[in-house]
Homo-oligomer: A and B are copies of this chain.
Amino acid sequence: MWLRSTWLAVVYTDRGGVLIVADASVRLALTQPSRTPPDFIMLELLTLGDYFGTLVFAVTGGLAAAEKKLDLGGFVLLAFVTGVGGGTLRDLILNRGLVFWAEEPAYIVLCVSGAVLVFFVAHRLPRLHKALVWSDAVGLAVFAVIGSAIALESGARPLVAILMGVLTATGGGVIREMIRNEIPLMLHREIYMSAALAGSGVLVGLDSLGAPTWVAIWVGAGVAFALRGAGIVFDLHPPTYSSARRSSASAPDDG
């Protein structure tokens, strides 16, 4: 329990998150003899992963804006929506007071940076496509477990916590596609929501079995990343309605 509140404090810390964590580790390590150094490394990595995921999501938002030939304002809007949209919905639904990026401006800076970066160099990014897809998978995994862990911390029930993980990881992308007038690929082409669902489910399951928080977090994130990675490597697609229908015995009608 105390471990969980510690890393939440870290995630929402003001700036120089890593330094503060390092400082906090020393102090906690002195006062909490049961706490072992490896935990802190895990927590720092999670904070870094969260920042990294926000930046990567912002970059994918910028690329989505480039495809529609938007102006810089459009780039910033889509980067912002993709980077922090899911977490914003989560915070509103859980009634957590100020949304996370209003308390920690680093997220705003990351989103704007991602947008500006892409606006000026997007035409050079195609060669980075592979790196981006894999970075996005890291963001997906980290956002899913962070979303679920924050929900548990807020006292949400397990089922709600799982939903909040999926929402944190995928909500921003869905709103971005709503603004762009596209149907999100993740709803009919890619192993994406199911990877987030699996990661969040594993975290909530392990937590309710009494596993240490960092174990639950990292196993959950690992499962989400592995599933998404398998989808990328083996080019897997989830069964869509038409294929489900084809494999069914009954004659096809107009659904």
Give the interface of A toward B (CB within 8 A). Answer: 63, 65-75, 77, 88, 92-95, 97-99, 101-102, 105, 108-109, 119-120, 122-126, 156-157, 159-160, 163, 174, 177-184, 186-189, 192-194, 197, 237-242, 244-245, 248, 250, 252-255
With contacts A66-B241, A105-B160, A156-B102 known, is A188 near B253, CB below 8 A? no
Q: Which residue of B lies closest to A244 (CB)?
A: B119
Q: List 24 A-B contacts (CB under 8 A).
A: A65-B241, A68-B188, A69-B242, A71-B189, A72-B194, A72-B238, A73-B186, A73-B193, A73-B197, A73-B238, A74-B193, A74-B240, A77-B193, A88-B93, A93-B98, A95-B99, A102-B156, A105-B159, A119-B241, A122-B255, A123-B248, A123-B253, A178-B178, A179-B184
**Complex CA distance for A65 and B244, rounded to whole angstroms:** 13
Chain B residues closer than 8 Å to A237, beta-carbon distance: 71
